[in-house]
Chains A and B, each alone.
Chain A
Amino acid sequence: MPSLKKVTKTGNEVFAEAMRQINPDVVAAYPITPATEIVQIFSQFVADGLVKTEYIAVESEHSAMSACIGSSAAGARTMTGTSAQGLALMWEMLYIAAGLKLPIIMAVVNRALSAPINIHCDHSDTMGARDSGWIQIYSENVQEAYDNLIQAVRIAEHPDVRLPVMATTDGFILSHCLEVAEILNDSDVQSFVGIPPERPTVLDFDKPITLGALDLQDYYFEHRRQIAEAMTRSIKVINDIADKYAKLSGRKYEFFEKYQLDDAEYAIVLIGSTAGTAKDVVDKLRSQGKKVGLLKIRVFRPFDYMKVRQTLENIKVIGVMDRADGLNAYCGPLYTEICTSLYESEKKPALANYIYGLGGREVKEQDIETIFDDLFKIGKEGKTVTTKYIGVR
C-alpha cells in the first residue's frame, strides 16, 4: 500500500490538488461561483511552476469547452472546471466534446440554475447535461471528490470509452467545507493516470484527419450509435478502474453505495452529500428496530439499471430524493431512472418521489425522518403518492 497523507481541505482544494497531481497538458477555464477557487488555486500552481500545464484563461465557458475540444483533439490531456450557468453556457459544446469522442475531464461544482439567480447547491445543472454523452460521477464528500477526479482520467481515456467525464461536488456543502481526506503521493497519482493511450489527433501530419465533418442521413445515426456503445462499454471500464484504484488507495468504489440495505424494507435513494445526513437517520431508525436503508447513486451516467434493479427489487417501499426538478408535471430525474430500473422486476416495490434542497435549501435529519415516516405509511396503507416537495414553504 503506498503511503497516504491526511489533509484537511475543501472540495475545491482537493479538486485543485488532484489536478496538480494529474498534471494535465492543458487547462482552459473561466471563473464561476462556487467553482472559481479550483481554477484560482490551479492558476497559482501554474504560476509557481508546480505543473507543466499550459493554462488558457478564456473569456467564457463556451470558449473554455471549445478550447478544451481543440486541445483534446490535438492529443493533449485536457481539464477544466465549472458550475451552474457556466455549465449551461457550455451546453452546445458538451454534446460536441462527447460526439467527437474527446476524453476531457471536468470538475463540476453543482449549483442551482437561474432564474431566480442563486449560487447554492442543487443538481439542476448537471441533470440537464445527463443526455450529453458525458460520464457523470457524483461525490458524497471531499474524499470521494478527490478519488473520483483521479479515476475520471483513466475512464475518459480508456480506448473502449473515449468519452468526456465530469466529476462533481455539491456546491458550498462540499466545495467550501473543510473535511479530512487522504491524499495520495504525487508519484502514485502519476503512475496511476499514466501516459494517455494513443488516439488519432489533429497534430498528426502523416495521417491527417478531418474532425467534426458533416454527417448527413447516411452516417450521423451510426456515429451517434458508437457513442451509445462507448457509454455501455464504460460500465465495465469504470468498475475495472475502481478495482485498480482500490489497490492504490484502499478505497473501493462501486456505481452506488449500499448502506444497511441488504435486509431493508424501506429505503431512500439519493445522490451526493445528503447521503451523509441520510446515513445518520438510517442509524437512528435502525437503533429503533426499523428496517431502513440507503442507496447512494455515485455514477449517474452511465446508469447501471440491471444492478440497481437487483439491489432494490426486494425493498418494500422506496423513496427517491431528487435535488433537481424535472418540471415534467410528474417527477424528478433520478426518480425516472429508478422507476425505469424496476419496471422489469416482478416484485415492483412501491415508489415515491421527493424533491428537496433546491437552491441550497438545507436538508435536515428531521426532513429525512419525515420521508421515512411517509414510506412507512405507504407500506401500511399500500397507497403510492404523487411527488412531494420537502422543506418548501
Chain B
Amino acid sequence: MPSIKELAKRKEKFVSGHRLCPGCGAGVVARLVMNAIDKPVVVGCATGCLEVSSTIFPYSSWDTPFIHSAFENAAATVSGVETAYRSLKKQGKIDKDVVFVAFGGDGGTYDIGLQSLSGAAERGHKMLYVCYNNQAYMNTGIQRSSATPKGASTTTSPAGKVIPGKIQFSKDIMGIMIAHNIPYAAQTIPGRWNDITNKVEKAINTDGFSFINVLSPCRLGWPHKPEIAMEITRLAVETCFWPLYEVIDGKYKLNYKPKEKKPIIEWLKIQGRFAHLLKPGNEKIIEGIQQEVDRRWENLLKKCESSV
C-alpha cells in the first residue's frame, strides 16, 4: 500500500471545483478511491449527489473517462463498458490494463439499483462497485432508503407524534453481496484513509466483481457540523455500528476491533436526525437500536472467528 506521501504525489483524478457541500463525505470518498487506483480507470456513476455535483456541464471534476446514464443502472452501464473493453482488447484494439469503477449512493445501490448490481455481480464483470452510503436519498431531499438506520427522521420517514422516524433497521447489503459469492467485499469509512486505500487496492487487483460499502456522512441529511464529518465516521466504527471488515473469497476478516465498544447513543446524539430519540419516553427505541447493533456485531465476530 502506498504511504500518504506517495498518495499525495499521485495525479488527482477527482479534482477540485465540484459543488458538493462542505463537509460532504462523497467527495472525500471519491478522491480517496481514485487516488488508490494507480492505473487507467473508467468511472461510472449512478444519478445522485456525486454525479450531479461533479459533472455540471461544461465542467467536470473527473480527469479520467467518466460515464453516467441513469439512476438504477451504474453496475449495468459499467458492465457494458468493461465488456466492450474485453472485446476490443481481445481484438488487439486496446492494450492498456484498465480498471472499472462504479459509484452509487445507497438509494442507487440498496434500492432502485439492486437488480442491476446483482446482475453485474453474478456475471462476474471485473469491476469495483463503491456504494457511498449516506443512508438516505440526499440528492432529492433526504428521503428514507432501505439503508436508512432505524429511528432516523427523514422527509419520508419523519419523526411525528405517533411514529418516531424510520421503523425498520437497514438492509444488510453486505450479506446480500457476499451471498453472490463475489471474490471481494468490504466495508470501510473515509475517516481512515489507510483502510479505504488498502481495500480499494485489494478490490481492483481482484479477478472479478468487488464491492465496497463506504459510510459517507451527509451534513444536510444527518445533519452534523461539517467539520466533524470524518470524526463521525470513526465514531460509527467505535460504536460497532459500522464495523471495518472485508470478505475475501468468502472468508471474513475484521480489520479493526475497538478497545472499548462505545454505546450507540454516542453516535446518535451528535446527529439531528436522531434528536427526537433523545427525548424522554424514547429510551426503549434507543435500547432496541443498541440491541440490533450488538446482534449484528456479535454475528460478524462469529463469522470472522469461524473464518480463521
* A, B from the same assembly: yes
Check A63 against B83 for contact (C-beta < 8 Å): no
A-chain residues with CB within 8 Å of residue B252 when the two chains form the complex: none
Q: How long is the Cα–Cα vector from A107 to B106 in the complex, in angstroms?
A: 35
Check A202 against B65 for contact (C-beta < 8 Å): yes
6 contacts between A and B (CB under 8 A): A53-B87, A70-B79, A78-B84, A208-B62, A209-B66, A212-B69
Check A211 against B80 for contact (C-beta < 8 Å): no
Give the segment of A92-100, A113-121, A365-373 that binds chain B.
A92-100
Which of chain B's residues has its CB closest to A209's CB? B65
Contact with B along A212-234 (1 / 0, CB 8 A): 11111001000000000000000
Question: Chain A residues in contact with chain B, CB under 8 A?
Answer: 25-26, 28, 52-54, 56-60, 62-63, 66-76, 78, 92-93, 96, 100, 201-205, 208-216, 219
B-chain residues with CB within 8 Å of residue A25 when the two chains form the complex: 84, 87-88, 91
Assess whether B68 is interfacial by the CB under 8 Å rule: yes
A387 to chain B, nearest CB (A): 36
Check A70 against B66 for contact (C-beta < 8 Å): no
Give the segment of B114-122, B210-218, B271-279 that binds chain A.
B114-122
B-chain residues with CB within 8 Å of residue A71 when the two chains form the complex: 80-81, 83-84, 87
Check A205 against B115 for contact (C-beta < 8 Å): no
B49 to chain A, nearest CB (A): 11
Among B40, B65, B68, B98, chain A packs the most CB atoms within 10 A around the CB of B65
Q: How long is the Cα–Cα vector from A210 to B44 in the complex, in angstroms?
A: 10
Contact with A along B125-155 (1 / 0, CB 8 A): 0000000000000000000000000000000
Contact with A along B177-217 (1 / 0, CB 8 A): 00000000000000000000000000000000000000000
Contact with A along B53-75 (1 / 0, CB 8 A): 00111101011111111101100
User: Known: A66-B73, A67-B77. Contact between A54 and B83, CB under 8 A?
Assistant: yes
User: Known: A58-B76, A76-B87, A205-B64. Contact between A63 and B119, CB under 8 A?
Assistant: yes
Check B88 against A70 for contact (C-beta < 8 Å): no
Q: How long is the Cα–Cα vector from A60 to B76 in the complex, in angstroms?
A: 10
B151 to chain A, nearest CB (A): 33
Q: How long is the Cα–Cα vector from A56 to B69 in the complex, in angstroms?
A: 18
Check B66 against A210 for contact (C-beta < 8 Å): yes
A-B contact count (CB 8 A): 165
A318 to chain B, nearest CB (A): 41
Assess whether B52 is interfacial by the CB under 8 Å rule: yes
B-chain residues with CB within 8 Å of residue A73 when the two chains form the complex: 67, 80-81, 84
Check A213 against B80 for contact (C-beta < 8 Å): no
Q: How long is the Cα–Cα vector from A53 to B40 in the complex, in angstroms?
A: 24
Assess whether B94 is interfacial by the CB under 8 Å rule: yes
Check B69 against A74 for contact (C-beta < 8 Å): no
B-chain residues with CB within 8 Å of residue A214 when the two chains form the complex: 51-52, 55-57
Which of chain A's residues has its CB closest to B40's CB? A205
Assess whether B85 is interfacial by the CB under 8 Å rule: yes
Among A205, A208, A209, A210, chain B packs the most CB atoms within 10 A around the CB of A210
Q: How long is the Cα–Cα vector from A211 to B52 in the complex, in angstroms?
A: 12
Which of chain B's residues has its CB closest to A53's CB? B87
B8 to chain A, nearest CB (A): 22
Q: How long is the Cα–Cα vector from A214 to B80 in the complex, in angstroms?
A: 21
B20 to chain A, nearest CB (A): 13
Q: How long is the Cα–Cα vector from A58 to B118 in the complex, in angstroms?
A: 10
Assess whether B86 is interfacial by the CB under 8 Å rule: yes
User: Known: A56-B123, A219-B58. Contact between A76 and B65, CB under 8 A?
Assistant: no
Assess whether B96 is interfacial by the CB under 8 Å rule: yes
B32 to chain A, nearest CB (A): 20
Q: How long is the Cα–Cα vector from A180 to B51 in the complex, in angstroms?
A: 51
B116 to chain A, nearest CB (A): 5
Assess whether B78 is interfacial by the CB under 8 Å rule: yes
Check A76 against B70 for contact (C-beta < 8 Å): no
Q: How long is the Cα–Cα vector from A92 to B64 in the complex, in angstroms?
A: 26
A31 to chain B, nearest CB (A): 14
A-chain residues with CB within 8 Å of residue B76 when the two chains form the complex: 58, 62-63, 66-67, 70
**A66 in complex: contacting residue of B52, B65, B80, CB < 8 Å:** B80
A-chain residues with CB within 8 Å of residue B167 when the two chains form the complex: none
Check B119 against A60 for contact (C-beta < 8 Å): yes
B-chain residues with CB within 8 Å of residue A208 when the two chains form the complex: 62-66
**B65 in complex: contacting residue of A68, A69, A204, CB < 8 Å:** A204
A-chain residues with CB within 8 Å of residue B51 when the two chains form the complex: 214
Assess whether B301 is interfacial by the CB under 8 Å rule: no
Which of chain B's residues has its CB closest to A208's CB? B65
Check B57 against A56 for contact (C-beta < 8 Å): no
Check B83 against A67 for contact (C-beta < 8 Å): yes
Q: How long is the Cα–Cα vector from A355 to B86 in the complex, in angstroms?
A: 47
Check A59 against B118 for contact (C-beta < 8 Å): yes
Among A58, A66, A203, A219, chain B packs the most CB atoms within 10 A around the CB of A66
Which of chain B's residues has its CB closest to A210's CB? B60
Which 5 pairs of residues, A with B, have the shortest CB-CB distance?
A70-B80, A59-B119, A67-B80, A212-B68, A74-B84
Check A60 against B60 for contact (C-beta < 8 Å): no
Q: How long is the Cα–Cα vector from A15 to B81 in the complex, in angstroms?
A: 25
Check A56 against B122 for contact (C-beta < 8 Å): no
A-chain residues with CB within 8 Å of residue B87 when the two chains form the complex: 25-26, 52-54, 71, 76
User: Known: A28-B83, A76-B88, A202-B67. Contact between A70 and B78, CB under 8 A?
Assistant: yes
Q: How long is the Cα–Cα vector from A344 to B153 in the complex, in angstroms?
A: 60
